[in-house]
Every structure is written in structure tokens, then in C-alpha cells.
Amino acid sequence: MSRNSRQNPESPSTGDAPLGRRDTAEGGGTVSHDHDHDHDHDHDHATRLTPFEHEHEHDHGERAHGGFPHERLDAYRVALTMAKASKRVAADIPRGHRSVADHMLRAAANVVLLLAEGANRRTPKEKRQRFGESRAECAEVAAAADLVGALELGPEHQAVELKHLAGRVAAMLTGLMNRLN
């Protein structure tokens, strides 16, 4: 929206809140816009957040579960933890073995992405297919962790932790697949 075509920001007819106004958002949150209006961008200052947009921190530090089916799965949260662990392990792998690090990071990312895709598919057959592919990627992460240990490419305890997480996600995926039968 160009500056010239914008209506007066103080005008109630635009739906914009006066400067400094705090609005109660749907879902219980508030939206505050205490900034100068001498800028040229398009947004609604009386923004109301939907329950899906309203994310907040819980006492345990995780964001609230979102509106996608995969965000409600423990397997998804553990897969994200595994992906973070793979990044830590990959950071310690020396230059001559970066292909192992790259493969491990790709496989860890694929676990998360395929798990999410499967959870959001409609038919049990499609869900099982994606969950099976995600589980196979877990095996690749575990194999990369084995390589880190066998070739002494990084701290052994981190490789063991990563392999444990990969096994845990694989087991959770197996459980999800079995429930679809």
C-alpha cells in the first residue's frame, strides 16, 4: 500500500488502533503497537491473533502446540531434538569428512520433514509410506553416528546420544505405523 493511498492511522474506519493502544487478541494475548507511523509498510495495528497464530512460551520452554497434526506428536518433538543433536555432532567433524556431516544433517532434516508430511496426509496408506521413509532416514542418522564413532570424527558421547535419539524416533514411528493397521 502506498503512503498516499493509506487513510489516517488514527481513523476508526481503517481498523487501525491509535498509537500506543493495546488490544486483547483472540486466545487471550495482547498486541501492542507503540511505534511511530512515519514508516511505509502495510499492516493492521488492531491485529487480532487467531489461536493458531498465538504462540507463547510454556514453563518448560517449548512453544505451544500449533495447529498442524505433526506438532501434536511426541515423535516430531524428539525428531527435532535429534536434528539439533546432529548439528552439534556435525560441527565437530573435521574438514576431510564433511560428506559424513552433510549426509547426517540431510538425513536428520528428512526425518523431521517426512514425519510432518506423513502426519498431515489423509489416508493411512500415505501416512504409513511417509512414516516408513522417515524411519529409514533415522537409520541413516544412526549409521552416520556410527561412522563418527568408528572413524573418531567427534566426541563419542555425542555420537552415542545421537544414535539413541535416532533409535527412539524410529521406534516411535514404528508405533505410529502400527496404529494405522
pLDDT at 58 over 50: no
The Cα 126–Cα 45 span in angstroms is 42
Asked, for residue 63, whether it belongs to a domain, the answer is no
pLDDT at 89 over 70: yes
Considering the domain architecture, whether residues 158 and 82 belong to the same structural domain is answered as yes
Number of domains the chain is built from: 2
Percentage helix, strand, coil, to 5, in the chain?
55, 5, 40
Last residue of a domain, one of 30, 54, 78: 54
Q: What's the angle, vertex CA 121, arms to CA 116 and CA 124, rounded to 5?
A: 115
Considering the domain architecture, whether residues 48 and 132 belong to the same structural domain is answered as no
Considering the domain architecture, whether residues 119 and 90 belong to the same structural domain is answered as yes
pLDDT, mean of residues 106-119 = 97
pLDDT at 111 over 90: yes
pLDDT at 5 over 60: no
- The amino acid occupying position 167 is G
Most confident of 18-22, 61-65, 145-149: 145-149
Considering the domain architecture, whether residues 31 and 117 belong to the same structural domain is answered as no
End-to-end alpha-carbon separation of the chain, Å? Answer: 52
Helix, coil or strand: residue 63: strand
Range of the domain at 143: 69-179
Task: State the Cα torsion 109-113-115-117 to the nearest 10°.
Answer: -170
Phi, psi for residue 19 in degrees, rounded to 5: -55, 130
Phi, psi for residue 151 in degrees, rounded to 5: -95, 5
Asked, for residue 60, whether it belongs to a domain, the answer is no
The Cα 86–Cα 108 span in angstroms is 7
